């Protein structure tokens, strides 16, 4: 059973996040282009909390500045928890794992 989504000003320990929540966190941090790689590798919060620079390179983060920025934020999240707003609903349009709503079919009157 997964943890309930955080509300308001709540925080969650980084190592408790699911893969989906890590993906939403990446989108929140404007690292949305890495979501599919992290999902494919099954990066959950525990894996992210323990990630090294080499781990991030292995998952496809080639630019050092992106890795450094993420590792610095990971340190903050380990110390202070992950804010609810960072793992809530994914900011659109970056959410490749949220299904687009199906438009209603037009009614044809005969």
- Using DSSP's 3-state secondary structure scheme, residue 51 falls into coil
Convert the pLDDT of each residue in 37-55 to its tens digit. 999 999 999 999 999 999 9
Asked whether residue 35 is domain-assigned, the answer is: yes
Asked whether residue 49 is domain-assigned, the answer is: yes
| pLDDT over threshold 60, residue 82 | yes
Q: Which of 52-56, 63-67, 101-105 has the lowest mean pLDDT?
A: 101-105
| pLDDT over threshold 60, residue 7 | no
Dihedral angle, C-alpha 68, 70, 76, 81, nearest 10 °:
-170
Asked whether residue 106 is domain-assigned, the answer is: no
Domain that holds residue 19: 11-87
Cα–Cα distance between 86 and 107 in angstroms, integer? Answer: 40
Which residues make Cβ contacts (< 8 Å) with residue 13, sequence separation at least 6?
45, 81, 82
| pLDDT over threshold 80, residue 97 | no
Asked whether residue 60 is domain-assigned, the answer is: yes
Mean of per-residue pLDDT scores for the chain: 82
More confident residue, 38 or 105: 38
Mean pLDDT along residues 71-97: 80
CATH number reported for the structural domain that contains residue 76 in this entry: 1.10.150.50
Number of structural domains, the chain? Answer: 1
What is the pTM for the complete model shown?
A: 0.73
CB 105 within 8 A of CB 38: no
Q: Positive or negative, the Cα torsion across 43, 8, 88, 59? A: negative
H or E stretch covering 23: helix 19-28
């Amino acid at each position: 059973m997964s943890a309930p989504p955080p509300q308001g000003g709540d925080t969650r320990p980084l190592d408790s996040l699911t893969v989906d929540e890590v993906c939403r966190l990446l989108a929140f941090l404007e690292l949305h282009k890495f979501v599919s790689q992290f999902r494919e590798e099954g990066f959950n919060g525990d894996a992210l909390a323990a990630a090294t620079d080499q781990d991030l390179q292995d998952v496809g983060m080639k630019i050092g500045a992106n890795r450094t920025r993420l590792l610095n934020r990971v340190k903050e999240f380990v110390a202070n928890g992950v804010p609810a707003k960072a793992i809530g609903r994914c900011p659109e349009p970056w959410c490749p794992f949220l299904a687009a709503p199906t438009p209603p079919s037009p009614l044809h009157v005969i």
